[in-house]
Structure 1
Amino acid sequence: MTLRYDQVSYRYPGTSTGVFDIALEIGRGELLAIIGASGSGKSTILKLLAGFLKPDTGRILIDGKDVGASLPEARRLGVVFQNYALFPHMRLWENIAYPLKVRGIAKQARRARAIEMLGRVGMGKRAEDYPAELSGGQQQRIALARALVFEPQGLLLDEPLSALDAGLRLEMRDEILRVQRQAGIATLLVTHDQEEALSIADKVVMMRDGRIVQIGTPRELYETPADASVAAFVGQSNLWPGSISGDGMVTTPVGALACDTQGKSIGTKVTVFVRPERVEPITGPVDASNPCCFAGSMSADRYLGPVRRIDMAVAGGAIRLETHLRGSITGVTIPHDAIRLLPPTS
């Protein structure tokens, strides 16, 4: 079962905002995450697939069938919303069984199916409880079970973990992945949390101003971002304006760096990109003759538990690094292979 957007565009009436020329495909058992800033079009893409909005142009296809004109209930898609939308007056099994009830399934059969789903999300003994008796994470599990109980053709997750505290989010994103893999279902996840997307998605889509900026695996987006905006949004980054100063050399505000200049001609403008964890700390004397070594002082030192995130003030600006070292740092080295050249920012 595949979910596909074929050059889909939608503009909100009376505005210039929406999504434009969206081309995506989610295969059976695949989890695709969409990330981007607020207003970038993430939720609009989900609403178009769910049937809450109808595209102006292009096609929405489920298993090859154009469903652009179909009502939401005819699309057989399970949806988990940010607020879970559980019925407070219904017991848990009744909440889960509700999609079966509206489809005319007999009470005994839908109860049996709901009990089975409760077991799959680790809550088999809570069938007679009510939503108010549950924690936020438990309510999220019930919402997930309800979305899957009628064996949908796809699963849509709209910021499903944003209401949970940080520790519970880690637990529940693993739970979502486990249940999704077990069901083998095509899944679309909309999230503002880039760590969440990187940790569980097979592919990640980066949106900006209603358009797709980059599609790739989590590793591709993190290590080879398409431009500076992707690099800045996905994780921590050092980003400096630069220009090619020779074969294998680029000049930046922090100094000259040796790197693969990809055959670019002298004077070409670029953005120089380095992840902080690739910057190597120096705790002793700094070899100033090395073009990738910089003496400096710590202008900011943030303790994050497993690592420290440090800003090193150097002669031409600042270099950010992440390290597990606990002592004083006198400088940094930027390895040749840690440097990526991106298009210049406008």
Structure 2
Amino acid sequence: MTLRYENVSFTYPGTKTGVTDISLQIGRGELLAIIGASGSGKSTILKLLAGFVQPDQGRVMVEGKDISSQPPESRRLGVVFQNYALFPHMRLWENVAYPLKVRRMSKAIRRERAIDMLGRVGMGGRENDYPTMLSGGQQQRVALARALVFEPLGLLLDEPLSALDAGLRVEMRDEILRVQRAAGIATLLVTHDQEEALSIADKVAMMQNGRLVQVGAPHELYEAPVNADVARFVGQSNLWRGKVVATGTVETEIGAMACDTTGRSVGEEVIAFVRPERIEPVIGKAGKDQSQVFSGIVAADRYLGPIRRIDLNVEGGVIRLETHLREAVTTVAIPRDAVRLLPAS
């Protein structure tokens, strides 16, 4: 089962807001996460697939069939909303069975399938409870069961964990992945939480101003962002403006750095990009193998349990690093292979 967008564009009536020329594919059993800032168009992507809005151009496809003009109820897509939208007056099995009721299945079959699906999401034995008796995480499990009970062709998750506290979000994202893998269903996840996207998605697509900026495996967006905007949004980053001054060397606002300049011309303006965890604290005398060493004054030292996140003021700018070390850090080294060059624009 595949879900596909083919050159899809949509603009909300009377506005300039929407999405432009979107082409994406989600394969059987694959989970694609859409990330981006508020207003970037990520929720519109989900609405186009769900049928809540219809494209101005292009096609939305399910299993090779164009469903662009079909109403939501005809698309056989399960949707889990941000607020779960459970019926408070219905028992859990009745909530889960509601899509089957709409499809005119008998009560006996509806109840049997609903109870089975509740068991699959870890809510077995609770079928006669009401939503008001559940925690947020339990309600989310019921909403997931309801979205899957009618064996949909695809699963759409619209910020499903945003209402949960941080600890429960980690538990529930693992649960979503387990259920999704067991169902082997093509899944689209819209989230503002980059950690959530990186931890469970097979592919991540970043939106900006209604356009796709980068699509790839989580490690690709994290380790090889196509530009500074992706680098800023996906994880913590150091970004320094600079210029290639020689093969293998870039002069940045904080000083010269050795790095791979393949594909760059001498004199070309660039942005040097380094993840904070790649910055190496130097305790004691710097070794001869250090590519470049910088010393400065600690401007911020944030204790985060397993790591510290430090801002080090150096001549010309700031170096941000993450370390598990507990010693005072005033000198750091930046290895050559930690530096990537991004377009200056």
Partner in structure 2 of residue 125 of structure 1: 125
Please give the alpha-carbon distance, in whole angstroms, between the structure 2 residues aligned to 1:263 and 1:141.
49
SS state at 1:161 partner: coil
Please give the alpha-carbon distance, in whole angstroms, between the structure 2 residues aligned to 1:264 and 1:20.
30
CA drift of 1:315 comes to: 1.8
Describe how 1:310-321 pairs up with structure 2 within 5 A. 310-321=310-321
Q: Is the 8 A contact 1:247 1:263 kept in 2?
A: no
Please give the alpha-carbon distance, in whole angstroms, between the structure 1 residues aligned to 2:3 and 2:189.
13
CA deviations on 1:101-157 (whole Å, 9 max, x unpaired) are 010000000000000001001111101000000000000000000000000000000
CA deviations on 1:280-308 (whole Å, 9 max, x unpaired) are 00121347996611112211100011100
Which AA in structure 2 matches 1:181? R
Which AA in structure 2 matches 1:153? L
Residue 196 of structure 2 is aligned to residue 185 of structure 1:
no
Partner in structure 2 of residue 135 of structure 1: 135
Please give the alpha-carbon distance, in whole angstroms, between the structure 1 residues aligned to 2:47 and 2:275.
34
Partner in structure 1 of residue 23 of structure 2: 23
Partner in structure 2 of residue 79 of structure 1: 79
Describe how 1:13-92 pairs up with structure 2 within 5 A. 13-92=13-92
CA drift of 1:265 comes to: 2.1
Describe how 1:89-108 pairs up with structure 2 within 5 A. 89-108=89-108
SS state at 1:264 partner: coil
Residue 1 of structure 2 is aligned to residue 6 of structure 1:
no
**Quick check: 188-197 or 282-291, which moved more?**
282-291
Unaligned runs of at least 5 residues, structure 2: none
Alpha-carbon RMSD across the aligned residues, in angstroms, is 1.2
Q: 1:186 to 1:263 in 2, by over 3 A?
A: closer
Q: Is the 8 A contact 1:60 1:68 kept in 2?
A: yes
Please give the alpha-carbon distance, in whole angstroms, between the structure 2 residues aligned to 1:325 and 1:29.
40
Please give the alpha-carbon distance, in whole angstroms, between the structure 2 residues aligned to 1:183 and 1:7.
29
Partner in structure 2 of residue 209 of structure 1: 209
Please give the alpha-carbon distance, in whole angstroms, between the structure 2 residues aligned to 1:127 and 1:21.
44
Partner in structure 2 of residue 150 of structure 1: 150
Describe how 1:208-227 pairs up with structure 2 within 5 A. 208-227=208-227
The TM-score with structure 2 as length reference comes to 0.98
Which AA in structure 2 matches 1:110? R
CA deviations on 1:205-234 (whole Å, 9 max, x unpaired) are 000000000000000000000100000000
**Quick check: 179-188 or 308-317, which moved more?**
308-317
Q: Is the 8 A contact 1:59 1:66 kept in 2?
A: yes
Partner in structure 2 of residue 197 of structure 1: 197
CA drift of 1:174 comes to: 0.2
Please give the alpha-carbon distance, in whole angstroms, between the structure 2 residues aligned to 1:5 and 1:72.
16
Partner in structure 2 of residue 293 of structure 1: 293
Partner in structure 2 of residue 303 of structure 1: 303
Partner in structure 2 of residue 336 of structure 1: 336
Which AA in structure 1 matches 2:187? T
Which AA in structure 2 matches 1:261? T
**Quick check: 290-299 or 19-28, which moved more?**
290-299
Q: Is the 8 A contact 1:288 1:295 kept in 2?
A: no
Q: Is the 8 A contact 1:286 1:295 kept in 2?
A: no
Please give the alpha-carbon distance, in whole angstroms, between the structure 1 residues aligned to 2:107 and 2:91.
14
Q: Is the 8 A contact 1:197 1:204 kept in 2?
A: yes
SS state at 1:123 partner: coil
Q: Is the 8 A contact 2:100 2:110 kept in 1?
A: yes
Partner in structure 1 of residue 247 of structure 2: 247
Which AA in structure 2 matches 1:140? Q
Please give the alpha-carbon distance, in whole angstroms, between the structure 2 residues aligned to 1:208 and 1:247.
33
Describe how 1:267-282 pairs up with structure 2 within 5 A. 267-282=267-282
Please give the alpha-carbon distance, in whole angstroms, between the structure 2 residues aligned to 1:330 and 1:288.
18
Q: Is the 8 A contact 1:3 1:154 kept in 2?
A: yes
CA drift of 1:52 comes to: 0.5
The TM-score with structure 1 as length reference comes to 0.98
Q: Is the 8 A contact 2:94 2:111 kept in 1?
A: yes
Residue 202 of structure 2 is aligned to residue 168 of structure 1:
no
Please give the alpha-carbon distance, in whole angstroms, between the structure 2 residues aligned to 1:291 and 1:182.
47
CA drift of 1:17 comes to: 1.1
Q: Is the 8 A contact 2:291 2:333 kept in 1?
A: no
The alignment of Structure 1 onto Structure 2 pairs a total of residues equal to 345
